[in-house]
A and B are shown apart, each in its own frame.
Chain A
Amino acid sequence: MRWFCRLCLPIGHSCSAGDMLLSSSIMLVAATMLVLVVIFALTFGHASPPAALRPPVPDLVKLQAGTFRHRAAGEFSREGKPVTAPIVTAAIKRTLAVMRHQVTAADYQRCVDAEVCPVVDRGGAVPNLPIVKVSWRDARAYASWLSRETGEHFRLPTDEEWAYAAGSWFQDDALPETLDVGDPGQRALAIYDREASRQERLDQAPHPVGSFGANENGLLDFAGNVWEWTDTCYARSAVDARGGVTATMVNCGVRVVEGRHRTYIADFIRDARAGGCSIGTPPSNLGFRLVRDDDPRHAQRPLSAWVRRLVGLQT
């Protein structure tokens, strides 16, 4: 018990050099054990955290692989004149697992609490409301976090996947093919009238999950008042007389946003509503839902997820 001598110093005992060496060694061992115990506790604590810190368990709906006719995203020109986007055959090659509802404010808050996702709104983590005012970058941060936490690969859907999931709720609002491409005035008016007809003065406040109903796939709230980010980059393509794409310019700083209508928004924008709304109707709110990528190439092994978590913990 003499190693306690150092602790006794304040009350007047003295220690020999031997005592000091012995007590130092014993304390080193004790400190090492303590560190190990702490790491063990934290590791296991992390593997089994309190409910509030556990990642949300996504409610996924599996859609069978298939092909469908789809109005291509992006803008198209033929012989130097703007033309209506072509309808293409899109293929969903494997089963697609889609979140039944949009990511909620409470789901997103867990990612914020984990110090991965940025704080986007101080409105509070309401469990039953979709998260809004999120950018594509925020959505991607959430997908990375959820993937890491679950060991599965979650990501934003592509525009085609979103349309496939939305099914009959997908809104094709392409301009008529008959539009005189040589008259910019007519084109501007056609776009404007399409936009003006959308001005239903949608209620801007997010509604509880399910308020806008389910589609034929059992998926909720497509085409409500929360638009969803997709992973598809803005693209401008030139097509030849037969409709074949001859050149494409891709800009991934702008992503396709889907909802009551399709639009293209810079990836860092959280609120597309501009006070003036120069021309057209912006989305009321920006939110997202994710798909689980079951491509074996993207599968994350539980062990590697565990290691990543541990690394994440220590850094």
Chain B
Amino acid sequence: MITRTAIRAAAAATVVLAAPALAQELDLPRQKIELVAPPFVHPHEQKALHGPRIMEFLLTPEEKQIVIDDEGTKLRAMTFNGSIPGPMMVVHEGDYVEVTLVNPETNSMPHNIDFHSATGASGGGDLTLIYPGEQVVLRWKATRTGVFVYHCIPGGVGPMVPWHIASGMSGAVMVLPRDGLKDAGGKALHYDRLYYVGEQDFYVPRDAKGKFKTYDTHADAFVDTRDVMRKLIPTHVVFNGRVGALTGQNAMTARVGETVLIVHSQADRDSRPHLVGGHGDYVWETGKFSNPPETNLETWFIRGGSAGAALYTFLQPGVYAYVNHNMIEAFELGATAHFRVEGTWNNDLMAQIRAPESIRAKASLR
């Protein structure tokens, strides 16, 4: 009886102590954010209009089979909230990020989350490993500004970390300075649109005839996939989960004169984003807003395991390819997106003086 009473008392004490402690520590307003699938980002303020808040997010790992190219190649994917990349979360410096991670019973594997923007315990990975049917709540303080990767990192349950990441489990967090973005001289920078491009390398096994294989379950796919991964040559390098996810009717849009912030993340490999026909007016290549942005870049480098941000004001209408400027990866493996930009052409910036014609034509000898 004594023992039981003691336990009950201890339990009660813990509850009683814990609740006020949390409340005292964080006597802050809460804001619940509905995440949206990339390349779009949930509504947010660029300059914080209020003091720090507790920003609440719900992330749900989802294991599923997806099609990753026009040939119908199927991948046993792992996702946050069903999308590759996972949704982008925007907060301000000094905010608290409170993430509820829910692993549905329909999944087959444990998952967790490592926020590069968080401090301690493997970015939260050590505190969030949950099995199907479980959920966990993690809170971390946004102390550093910039764009950061988050990803699954299910360490202690076998050699699974790279497989989960290479199957789609990464996303990005943007921690904005409370007074917004600035150039090197302290001048405020503003964006009219924000797009989040998550670059993803896939490693799909092939059969003896060279055709991509399909698997009944994720576990069935593991050994073969790991063999392909170990050779470090992806079969696909794509933006937003599949070849052509951001082209054609799904192309990103803008108007001449609008300023667009493009956040680009890659959790595995290095990349080199380039806007064909445009530039990076202001680029935080390493993605951290406490460093001054570089200006007028042609191509910028995204280190594997990081995110970067590029700000550009469109000056001409037309179609801009946004590529990984390893063009082999862009054209052969899929790392191409498009911007469709409306507006009026500026003949001063560029004009076709004569259309292509025979070099023998007199007209060309002006």
- The chain A residues found within 8 Å of chain B, CB to CB, are 75, 77, 80-82, 122-123, 182-186, 188-189, 192, 195-197, 199, 201, 203-205, 236, 238, 247-249, 273-279, 281, 284
Most chain A Cβ neighbours within 10 Å, of B335, B345, B350:
B345
Q: Are A199 and B356 in contact (CB under 8 A)?
A: no
Residues in B neighbouring A188, C-beta threshold 8 A: 317-319
- Closest A residue by C-beta to B244: A277
The listed residue (A75, A185, A275) touching B243 by CB distance below 8 A is A275
Choose among B71, B330, B355 the residue that contacts A77 (Cβ–Cβ < 8 A). Answer: B355
Stretch at the interface among B152-160, B225-233, B247-255, B262-270: B247-255
24 sample A-B contacts, Cβ–Cβ < 8 Å, listed by A number: A77-B355, A77-B356, A80-B363, A81-B352, A82-B355, A122-B210, A182-B347, A184-B350, A184-B352, A185-B317, A186-B345, A189-B319, A195-B248, A199-B244, A199-B249, A238-B361, A274-B332, A275-B236, A275-B330, A275-B332, A275-B336, A278-B321, A281-B248, A284-B70
Contact across chains for A189 and B336 when beta carbons are under 8 A apart: no
Q: A196–B340 Cα gap in the complex (Å)?
A: 11
Which residues of B97-151 are within 8 A (CB) of A? none
Distance, CA A268 to CA B299, complexed state (A): 32
Is B294 interfacial (CB-CB < 8 Å)?
no
Measured between beta carbons, the chain B residues less than 8 angstroms from A205 are: 72
Number of residues on chain B facing chain A (CB within 8 A): 45
* CB-nearest residue of chain A to B337: A276
Closest residue to B321 on the A side, CB-wise? A278
Say whether B355 contacts A183, CB under 8 Å: no
Shortest CB-to-CB span from B330 to chain A, Å, is: 5
| Complex partner residue of B336 from A77, A278, A284, CB under 8 angstroms | A278
Decide: B357 and A185 in contact? CB cutoff 8 A. Answer: no
Does A236 lie within 8 Å of B317, measured CB to CB?
A: no
Determine the distance from Cα of A248 to Cα of B358 in the docked complex, in whole angstroms: 7
Which of B248, B316, B342 is A196 in contact with, Cβ under 8 Å?
Answer: B248
- Chain B residues with Cβ below 8 Å from A284 are 70
**Contact residues in A for B317 (Cβ distance below 8 Å):** 183, 185-186, 188-189
- Beyond the given pairs A81-B352, A275-B236, 14 more chain A to chain B contacts, judged by CB atoms under 8 angstroms and listed by A's residue number, are A77-B357, A80-B353, A122-B210, A183-B344, A185-B318, A189-B317, A192-B251, A196-B247, A204-B71, A238-B361, A275-B336, A276-B331, A277-B244, A279-B338
CB neighbors of A among B171-212 (8 A) = 209-210
Task: In the A-B complex, list the 3 residue pairs whose CB atoms are closest, starting with the nearest.
Answer: A185-B317, A276-B336, A196-B248
B37 → chain A, closest Cβ, in Å? Answer: 18
Considering the complex, give the chain A residue whose CB is closest to the CB of B239: A276
In the complex, are the beta carbons of B334 and A275 less than 8 A apart?
yes
**Does the CB pair A276–B251 fall under 8 Å?**
no
Which residue, of B236, B251, B318, B347, has the highest number of chain A Cβ atoms within 10 A? Answer: B318
> Separation in Å of the A188 CB from the closest CB of chain B?
4
A275-B318 in contact (CB<8A) = no
Residues of A contacting B319 with CB < 8 Å?
188-189, 192, 279
Contacts of B342 in A (CB 8 A): 189
Query: How far apart are A125's CB and chain B's nearest CB, in angstroms?
Result: 14
Once the chains are docked, how many angstroms separate the CA of A81 from the CA of B356?
9
Given contacts A185-B345, A195-B248, A276-B331, are A247 and B357 in contact (CB under 8 A)? yes
Question: Once bound together, how far apart are the Cα atoms of A214 and B338, in whole Å?
Answer: 37
B261 CB to closest chain A CB (Å) equals 22
Q: A184-B350, A196-B249, A204-B70 are in contact. Are A279 and B321 (CB under 8 A)?
A: yes
Residue B333, interface by CB 8 Å: yes
List which B246-294 residues lie within 8 A (CB) of chain A. 247-249, 251
B358: contacting residue among A184, A185, A196, A247, CB under 8 A:
A247
Q: Is B69 an interface residue (CB 8 A)?
A: yes
Do A274 and B331 touch across chains, with their CB atoms under 8 A apart? yes
Instruction: Verify B251–A196 contact, CB threshold 8 A.
Output: yes
Q: Do the beta carbons of B345 and A278 come within 8 Å of each other?
A: no
B355 and A80: CB pair below 8 A? yes
Residues of A within 8 A of B318 (CB): 184-185, 188-189
A312-B343 Cα distance, complex, nearest whole Å:
63
A122 to B209, CA, bound (A): 8
Chain B contacts for A189, CB-based, 8 A: 317-319, 340, 342
| Min CB gap B34→A, angstroms | 29
Q: Closest CB-CB distance, B187 to chain A, in whole Å?
A: 29
Q: At the interface, yes or no: B341 with Cβ under 8 Å from chain A?
A: yes
B345 near A184 with CB under 8 A, answer yes
- In angstroms, Cα B338 to Cα A205, docked, is 26
Smallest CB gap from B357: residue in A: A238
Q: Smallest distance from the beta carbon of A266 to chain B beta carbons, Å?
A: 15
In the complex, residue of chain A having the shortest beta-carbon distance to the beta carbon of B236: A275
User: Inside 8 A of B347's CB, which chain A residues have their CB?
Assistant: 182
Interface centre among B69, B248, B331, B345 (most CB of A within 10 A): B248
Contact of B248 among A82, A199, A247 (CB under 8 A): A199
| Contact call A277/B336, Cβ cutoff below 8 A | yes
